[in-house]
Amino acid sequence: MATDPALPIIYVRHGETDWNAQGLIQGSIDTELNAKGHAQAQAVAALLATHRSDWTRFEIIVSPQLRARQTAEHIVRALGREIDGLEPHVRELGFGVWEGKPFWELKDSPVYPADPEGRFFWRPEGGESYEDGVARVNTWRASLTRPTLVISHGAVGRCLMGAVAGLGPREIVGLPTPQGAYCRLENGRIAWFDGVNDPA
């Protein structure tokens, strides 16, 4: 089935983890929300709940990784819903040998491309590139038949937003993925909403 650009997707990034706070690369490693992360998840859950009737048609899909599932628990509780499915296609990009290391070390490494376009195509040893991530989320998008609320991660979230908006490599790697907010993706548009500015 071809991807329908008019089919809305609501994207939520998981709340903060201690590894986020410490600037460590998580990737495929399971980490849990810290206190701030739970508060962020509760905040976006409350924000979504103010428009509860808007989401009744939406399927709720979650990355199988712990930090995304913990975030989803707050959201489904606030919406009076259950998770409809765990989806491996929206798990975080794997960073291979760099997982567990600080981002600054990666950025200072000669193996890491200096230009944004190069970073899009760069595949760490044992990991995935942003190009791989875009292919992965497009495979998932092609299977969608209903509006979908997806709780996922930062790097793969950039892939999802970029795929929906038709952005190029340079733009995709620079997309913001705030925590404690949600993003509506529809008809090539990216719109962020949070508890202060709605839309953000």
The residues carrying an active-site annotation are: 14, 92
Q: How far apart are the first and last CA of the chain?
A: 32
Q: 105 with 72: CB under 8 angstroms? A: no
Running DSSP on this structure, what letter comes out for residue 54? G
Q: Look at the chain and count its residues.
A: 200
Q: Determine whether 130 is exposed, middle or buried from the number of CB atoms within 10 Å of its CB (0-12, 13-18, 19+).
A: buried
Report the C-alpha gap between 24 and 3 in whole angstroms: 34
